[in-house]
Every structure is written in structure tokens, then in C-alpha cells.
Chains A and B, each alone.
Chain A
Amino acid sequence: MNQRLTTAQAMDGREGTTHEVAPDSRRRARRARRLRQGTVALALVAPAALAYLVFVLRPIVLTFQYSLYKWNGVGASTWAGLSNYAALVKNPDLSGSIVHAFELILFFSIIPVALGLFTANTIRGFAASKIALVSRTVLFVPQIIPLVAAGIMWSWLLSSNGVVNQILRLVGLGGITRAWLGDFSTALPAVGVIGAWVLFGLCMLLLLAGMSKIDPALYEAARIDGAGSWREFFAITLPSVRQELGVCLTVTVINALASFDIIYISTQGGPGNTTLVPGLEIFYLAFSQRQVGMASALAVALMVLVLAVVLPLQRITRDSDS
């Protein structure tokens, strides 16, 4: 290892002068071996890198390029400069959709994470028993159901004669029944509930995995010191799962800001744009209105927005860990 390092330093040239004792031929042989090793490494990385380039980086670059044009997706395009971005700011539909996305964070992130913490902590108490296994499985199931199926199922449940309203009538709350997904004041929260239901299982499982790593001795020590379960939770459990919490928040916040499928299936942005989110708007712009340039501009803006929210989130959870 040392030898290799030296060689590398020699090749690097900057600090290598003192080490350049090897004769030219040996140096060339080493250089060749290094190159070979490098080539092997590159060859191993290449397929993944290529896929990443073709399917991730290239579309991003192209999206950015499209966002600078006025283009209907088929015919000739005209250069538009930054006018698509300017239009984004002016369009009230678009700014409204971004507000909705932030409102969804409450349902897609905060509620699932809070509930996940609570459930995981409860299950941790009887982690070894069969009940824990069953409840874990049951609560995780929504995560493996395709979002489209979840959307369809929930739009039945929430319809005017759906199970939700039937139960409400059964318990004498017939007065508040309504078409939850078709009401201006409840459509967005109703969509949020679907998201919370889907994402709750993921958060619970991640947090439970985090909690299972905690050394039981910590809890014993705390109990000896007279800590109650409340205290245990805040002093031991919560700090120990900070990283998992970070992952949960990141994933769910991205889900909220970039949501599409659940909403496309359940409300399609209606009624009256109350559940319109950027993901849906991008889709409508590109495929219904055929304004590919505008759709691309919104996509770029959405990507920047997601990064702007998620990167600080990452920093917070990382920093406090180190």
C-alpha cells in the first residue's frame, strides 16, 4: 500500500521529486500497471455510470435546454430565453400549485413521521413477540401497494357513499359527510390522508430498524436512574434515531413536493385546481397543452425547489449527529 502511494505521488508530479529514484523503465512499467488498474476500475464503473448519464444526467440537461425554448413537442421550436421562467412566476395556477405542495408536507411528512415514531416506539416495547411481527407487516403493507391502486381504493372509500361516510353516518355524524375528494375545503387534506397512509409504513419500518440498534443497556441505565418512558423516549430513543429520522423526512418531503400519482388518480387537480401540484401541472403542460418548454421550466424549478428544501434538511440531521 505504501509503495503504491509513493508511486502515485511520483506520478502526481507535484510532491514527487524526492521519490523519483526509480529508473525510467521501472517507472514506465508501474505507470502501465497503474493505468491498467485504472482502466479496470473504470470498466467496472462504466455500465452504471453510463446508465446514470443516459437516464439521469442527460434528461436533466435536455430538460434545462427545452426550458429555454417554446416547443409543442413535435414541430419546430423557437428560442425563448428565460421567458418560460418569467411566465412561471406570473401564472397564479403555478404559484398556487407550489403552495399546495408545501401544504402536503404536513400530510406526507410530518404526520407519517410523527405516527411512525409513536408506533415504532410502541412496537419496540414488545419487539420479540408475534404481535410485533404482525403489526409491522400490516402497517407496512400500504407501502407495497402500487400508488395507483391506493389512489383508486381511497377514491372509493372517500366517495359520497363510500365506507368513510358510511361509518360517519353509523356513528351519528351524518351531518359532516360529503364527497371528500370533491369538496373545495377537504380535497387537499383528503389527498394528504392517502399520502400519509402510504408513507406511514415506510417511516415506521425505518425508525423501528433504527431503534433496534439502540443498546438495551442504555434503557436499563435510564430506568435505574428513575427515568419514565416519556423521558426514555426523548433522552435515548429520539437522539438515537436521528439519522433514520433524517432519511424519513427527506424521502417524504420529496414525495410531497414531487407528488403526482396519488393526485392524478384521485382528483386530477380538481375541484377548481384545489389539489393542483407542480408534478401534475408539468404533466398537463407537456402532454395536454403541449407546451414542452414551459413544462420543462417548471420541472427545473421544481427540482431546484426540492433541492433547496432537502439539502438543508440533510445538513441539520447530519450536523447534529457528528
Chain B
Amino acid sequence: MSRRRGLTRWAVLTAFLAVGSLTATACSAPGGGATAPTPQATNGGAGTATAAAAPTCGTAPVTLNTYIETGFPLPKDLADEFTKQYPNVMFNIREDQFAVITQNAPRVLADDPPDLMRLPQMSELAKEGLLLNLDSYAKAFGWDTWPASQLEQMRVDSSGRRGDGPLYAMGLNFSMTGVFYNKTLAQKIGMTQPPATLAEFDALLQKAKDAGIVPIAQFNGGATGGFAFPLQDLMVSYGPAGPINDWIYQKPGATIDTPTNLQAAQHLQQWVKSGYFANDVNSMDYATMMSRFIAGQSLFIFDGDWESGNLDKQMAGNAGFFLMPPATAGGKYGAMSAPLTYGIAAKAPHADCAAFFLNWVATNEKARTIDVQVGGSHPMGPVDAFMPTIDANTVTAQTLAAGAQVGKDNGSMDFIANATGAIYAKSWTPNLQKLAAGQEDAATLLKSVQADYLTQIGS
């Protein structure tokens, strides 16, 4: 017995020592050692001050490490065209779903810094110093002469608030949302032109329902809260876009629980009650919504123009688009509009070349053509820049025209899902699912989201 006791003692002692040595590292606070790099210190060749001559990709072979969202052909097509024009530049492309990119972003930017990366909500990434400050490039390439609203959403100040401060990302294009409809089904219910008011839209929804057509398919299942699309469209239909943007940009005192937003949420609730949505919205993911719409199983979807190119291919001539009509005739139009954000890691080895690529996407005629034809959205860049000619019968042409309308009405907003890093997953999604299931009313929805918002920006 005692021999075993002796051995046990040995083992215990050794184990104790081993645990001790292994966890000794744990005594310091986590993350303390890896101090976040300041953008200036790691700016590499670019340098914030030395921006007189615009940087290029040079002539030596360069491989840009690129991290993109899977399922969209635009970035790859742009990369291919760029390599054609600048044969010394190759792209090493890694693809992930957007949710995965969201989860990986800080780690990837810190440990394996990509030269170009599709960015999720970027407040924290910028605040942590993981993204390169692009202000010097903006000056060198003249991005600061473009319409300010294009870049506004990608500016982050030192406290992580968006809308102002240094530029931390660039768009490949900027997208816009509204309502897509199936022309064949629209004909069946006698819809000859897009509704001009919300009341007209309601009438169409009722007609579709009476005709046995599913009026709206909208993804809202699992971890997705796609009801945010119709909700925000309704918000800007009832009220102005400005206060919604203030809320998204975390301006002090901003609230989502305003009288007009309540009207919007109540209207959405009424749609739910009237049975205008497919009965399984709470288990519908984005891909299911798209396949049902393309297959002609629903009249409307609320979505963005990133699908325009896709719909022109898959339902050529059969898809139409309109902006959410205003609540009263002659009212102003609004829409969610956001750049397809790409950033450069603070420690990226080829920051200059990546910035040159981003500038090329916005200014090169070939690139702008790809942007519109493949991406379906409006390219970034100066107002008078080259635009490819688009067949007027395509849905792409309609979304581009709608974009111009929104610009004219000053009705562009960021997504309410982007207000904080967690607001979409932890607040909008569960609350919108409850609204869709009739478990929660409009007032409670806005109150809960506002409460969560305050907790999140307070912490």
C-alpha cells in the first residue's frame, strides 16, 4: 500500500509542477501581450504622411492575400480582370460564409493579416487597431472628392462610433434594397405598375393572397432576421431616414422607438396578421427565399440589388424591382444602402497594392462594367464617372434607376442591423421572429431592441 502511496505522491508532485509550469503563462491577463498595433506604426510602405504620389502595385510579382465572402462572383471576376491588366499581381483567395467571416475577423486580421478582406460590422475592428487607416490613400487617390455619403459608413472614430473619423474600408460597390417582384405573378393579379403608395402596396398584397399566391417570401429563420428588410423599408416609408441613421451611428440620445417607427412596426405586424408572408418564414433561410422566388412561388421579396445580376440571369425579363412606396402619395423614397466593404489589415504586407486595387475597382471602366453587370450594384466613385450601358428591361437597370431616385430624395440609410456588433443576432433576430410568430407586438419589439441597444453601447 505504502509503495503505491509513494508513487502517487510522485505523480501528484510531477503533475502539480507540470500544471504549474503550463499555467504560469496564464497568470498574466489574456491578450495583454499582444498589444494592438497602431495603424501608423504598421503602415508599411504606405505611410500616413508620405502620400504625395499615389501608390501602385509596382512591377515585381505580388500576391494579394484576399479573404472574401463565398457565393458572390463579383470579387473573383474583378480579381481576374485586374490580373489581366496587371499581370504581376496574383490573388490568393480564401472564401467563407459571411457568418464565418464575422466570427473570424478579429483573429484573422491579427494573426494572418489579409491584404484585402470582406468586412463585417467594423466598429470594433477599427477601434482595436486591426484595420489600416486609409485616409492617406483617400487623399492620394482623391477618394475625398467623391460624394461624402459613399464613404460615411466606413468612417470610424476613436470610440468605435461610425459615420465620422478616419476611413477604415472601401466599397467594391454600394448596394441598395427594395422590393423585387415576379412579373408573371404580378400580371395574374393585374399589377401593371409598381405601387405608388403604401395603401396601393397593401391592396396588391391582399389581391395576391386572394388569388392563392404567396404574397411575400422573406427569410427570417434560424439566426437570420430578414424581417429587418421590410421593417426598415416601412420605417422610411413613414418617416425620414435621418433619425434612423443617427441611431445606427450611435449618436447620443438616438432612439429606434419613435412614433413613425412604431407605425412602421405596427404595419409590419398587420402584414403578419393578414397572412401576407409565407407561413414558414421563421424557418426560411436566405437561400430558400431566393430559390422560391426564382421558382415563382412568391410574388414579392424584400432584398438588395446584389441579386440583380443573378436575377437577370435566372429569371431573365421576369423580375422587376421597385422602391418601398411612401406612406402618402408624392412622399419621398428611401432605402437601405451600404457599400460592399473591403478593408486592409493593419499589418497587411501589400497594403499599397491592395489600395491601388480598390481605387482601380472604382475608377477603371472595365471594373465598373463588371461591378454593374456581375455585382448588380452601383460602383463607387465620382458622380460623373463612366457607367456601362444596361438593357432597360433588366432588373439591374431598374435597381440603378431606383438608386438615383434615393440619392435625389436623400433617403439612403445604413442597415438597422449594423448599429452594434451584436444588435442583429441578439436583438433584432429573436424579436423579429417573435413578431412573425405573433408572440410579440410592434411596441414591445421596438422597446426591447432599444433596451438591448442601450445595454450594448453602454458596455
Binds A, one of B169-177, B277-285, B363-371: B277-285
Is A79 positioned at the interface, with any CB of B under 8 Å from its CB?
yes
In angstroms, Cα B7 to Cα A7, docked, is 13
Q: Which residues of B contact A160 (CB under 8 A)?
A: 279-280, 283
Binds B, one of A41-49, A215-223, A298-306: A41-49
Task: With both chains docked as a complex, state the minimum distance between the C-beta of B138 and any C-beta of chain A, in angstroms.
Answer: 25
Q: Are B18 and A288 in contact (CB under 8 A)?
A: no
Q: Which residues of B contact A78 (CB under 8 A)?
A: 29
In angstroms, Cα B102 to Cα A69, docked, is 22
In angstroms, Cα B282 to Cα A268, docked, is 12
Q: Which residues of A contact B178 (CB under 8 A)?
A: none
Task: With both chains docked as a complex, state the minimum distance between the C-beta of A235 and any C-beta of chain B, in angstroms.
Answer: 40
Task: With both chains docked as a complex, state the minimum distance between the C-beta of A85 and any C-beta of chain B, in angstroms.
Answer: 16
Is A114 positioned at the interface, with any CB of B under 8 Å from its CB?
no
Tell which of B5, B18, B35, B222 touches A76, judged by Cβ atoms closer than 8 Å: B35
A161's nearest neighbour on chain B, judged by CB, is B280
Task: With both chains docked as a complex, state the minimum distance between the C-beta of B357 and any C-beta of chain A, in angstroms.
Answer: 26
Is B426 positioned at the interface, with any CB of A under 8 Å from its CB?
yes
Binds A, one of B383-391, B396-404, B432-440: B432-440
Given A62-B26, A270-B429, A272-B433, does the pair A182, B281 have CB atoms closer than 8 Å?
Answer: yes
Q: Are B6 and A179 in contact (CB under 8 A)?
A: no
Q: Are A75 and B433 in contact (CB under 8 A)?
A: no
In angstroms, Cα B303 to Cα A60, docked, is 44
Given A57-B19, A288-B102, A289-B421, does the pair A69, B30 have CB atoms closer than 8 Å?
Answer: yes
Q: Per-residue CB proximity of A1-43 to B under 8 Å, as 1/0?
A: 0001101110110110000000000000000000000100110
Q: Are B3 and A4 in contact (CB under 8 A)?
A: yes
Is A119 positioned at the interface, with any CB of B under 8 Å from its CB?
no
Q: Are B18 and A74 in contact (CB under 8 A)?
A: no
Is A200 positioned at the interface, with any CB of B under 8 Å from its CB?
no
Q: Are A76 and B14 in contact (CB under 8 A)?
A: no
Q: Are A53 and B18 in contact (CB under 8 A)?
A: yes
**Could you count the A-B residue pairs with CB atoms below 8 Å apart for me: how many are there?**
162
Q: Are A72 and B128 in contact (CB under 8 A)?
A: yes
Q: Which residues of B contact A74 (CB under 8 A)?
A: 31, 34, 36, 106-107, 110, 128, 130
Q: Are B430 and A273 in contact (CB under 8 A)?
A: yes
Is B11 positioned at the interface, with any CB of A under 8 Å from its CB?
yes
Q: Which residues of A contact B430 (CB under 8 A)?
A: 270-273
Is B192 positioned at the interface, with any CB of A under 8 Å from its CB?
no
Q: Are A79 and B29 in contact (CB under 8 A)?
A: yes
Task: With both chains docked as a complex, state the minimum distance between the C-beta of B153 and any C-beta of chain A, in angstroms.
Answer: 20
Is B223 positioned at the interface, with any CB of A under 8 Å from its CB?
yes
Q: Which residues of A contact B106 (CB under 8 A)?
A: 72-74, 290
Is A183 positioned at the interface, with any CB of B under 8 Å from its CB?
yes
Q: Which residues of B contact A45 (CB under 8 A)?
A: 11
B7's nearest neighbour on chain A, judged by CB, is A38
Is B425 positioned at the interface, with any CB of A under 8 Å from its CB?
yes
Task: With both chains docked as a complex, state the minimum distance between the C-beta of A6 and any C-beta of chain B, in angstroms.
Answer: 10
In angstroms, Cα B280 to Cα A178, docked, is 7
Q: Which of B2-18 contact A (CB under 8 A)?
A: 2-3, 5-7, 10-11, 14-15, 18
Task: With both chains docked as a complex, state the minimum distance between the C-beta of A181 and any C-beta of chain B, in angstroms.
Answer: 5
Q: Are B29 and A69 in contact (CB under 8 A)?
A: yes
Q: Are A270 and B282 in contact (CB under 8 A)?
A: yes
Given A38-B7, A272-B439, does the pair A182, B282 have CB atoms closer than 8 Å?
Answer: yes
Q: Are A42 and B31 in contact (CB under 8 A)?
A: no
Q: Are B222 and A268 in contact (CB under 8 A)?
A: yes
Given A41-B7, A268-B223, A271-B282, does the pair A53, B437 have CB atoms closer than 8 Å?
Answer: no
In angstroms, Cα B37 to Cα A76, docked, is 11
Tell which of A179, A269, A272 touches B283, judged by Cβ atoms closer than 8 Å: A179
Is A260 positioned at the interface, with any CB of B under 8 Å from its CB?
no
Tell which of A49, A66, A180, A268 touches B30, judged by Cβ atoms closer than 8 Å: A66
Q: Which residues of A contact B85 (CB under 8 A)?
A: none
Q: Which residues of B contact A289 (CB under 8 A)?
A: 421-422, 425-426
Q: Per-residue CB proximity of B202-228 to A under 8 Å, as 1/0?
A: 000000000000000000111110000
The range of chain B's interface size is 35 or more
In angstroms, Cα B30 to Cα A78, docked, is 9
Given A54-B22, A77-B29, A179-B282, does the pair A72, B3 have CB atoms closer than 8 Å?
Answer: no
B278's nearest neighbour on chain A, judged by CB, is A160
Is B431 positioned at the interface, with any CB of A under 8 Å from its CB?
yes
Q: Which residues of A contact B6 (CB under 8 A)?
A: 8, 11-12
Q: Are B5 and A182 in contact (CB under 8 A)?
A: no
Task: With both chains docked as a complex, state the minimum distance between the C-beta of B287 and any C-beta of chain A, in angstroms.
Answer: 12
In angstroms, Cα B22 to Cα A61, docked, is 10
Q: Which residues of B contact A178 (CB under 8 A)?
A: 279-280
Is A50 positioned at the interface, with any CB of B under 8 Å from its CB?
yes
Q: Which of B285-339 contact A (CB under 8 A)?
A: none
Task: With both chains docked as a complex, state the minimum distance between the C-beta of B330 and any C-beta of chain A, in angstroms.
Answer: 38
Q: Are B222 and A270 in contact (CB under 8 A)?
A: yes
Task: With both chains docked as a complex, state the minimum distance between the C-beta of B113 and any C-beta of chain A, in angstroms.
Answer: 12
In angstroms, Cα B103 to Cα A179, docked, is 28
Q: Are B31 and A77 in contact (CB under 8 A)?
A: yes
In angstroms, Cα B372 to Cα A56, docked, is 52
Q: Are B103 and A77 in contact (CB under 8 A)?
A: no
Given A74-B130, A76-B31, does the pair A270, B3 have CB atoms closer than 8 Å?
Answer: no
Q: Are B18 and A50 in contact (CB under 8 A)?
A: yes
In angstroms, Cα B223 to Cα A270, docked, is 6
Q: Are B439 and A76 in contact (CB under 8 A)?
A: no
In angstroms, Cα B222 to Cα A289, docked, is 17
Tell which of A57, A66, A270 touches B221, judged by Cβ atoms closer than 8 Å: A270
Q: Which of B350-371 contact A (CB under 8 A)?
A: none
In angstroms, Cα B283 to Cα A70, docked, is 34
Task: With both chains docked as a complex, state the minimum distance between the C-beta of A68 and any C-beta of chain B, in angstroms.
Answer: 9
Q: Are A61 and B26 in contact (CB under 8 A)?
A: yes
Is A71 positioned at the interface, with any CB of B under 8 Å from its CB?
yes
In angstroms, Cα B222 to Cα A131, docked, is 40
Is A287 positioned at the interface, with any CB of B under 8 Å from its CB?
yes
Q: Are A267 and B36 in contact (CB under 8 A)?
A: no
Is B252 positioned at the interface, with any CB of A under 8 Å from its CB?
no
9 cross-chain CB contacts under 8 A: A12-B6, A42-B14, A65-B26, A179-B284, A270-B221, A272-B437, A273-B430, A289-B421, A290-B421
5 nearest CB pairs, A to B: A182-B283, A8-B3, A179-B280, A182-B282, A268-B223
Query: Which of A's residues lie within 8 Å of B, judged by CB?
Result: 4-5, 7-9, 11-12, 14-15, 38, 41-42, 45, 49-50, 53-54, 57-58, 61-62, 65-66, 69, 71-79, 93, 159-160, 178-184, 267-273, 284, 287-290, 292
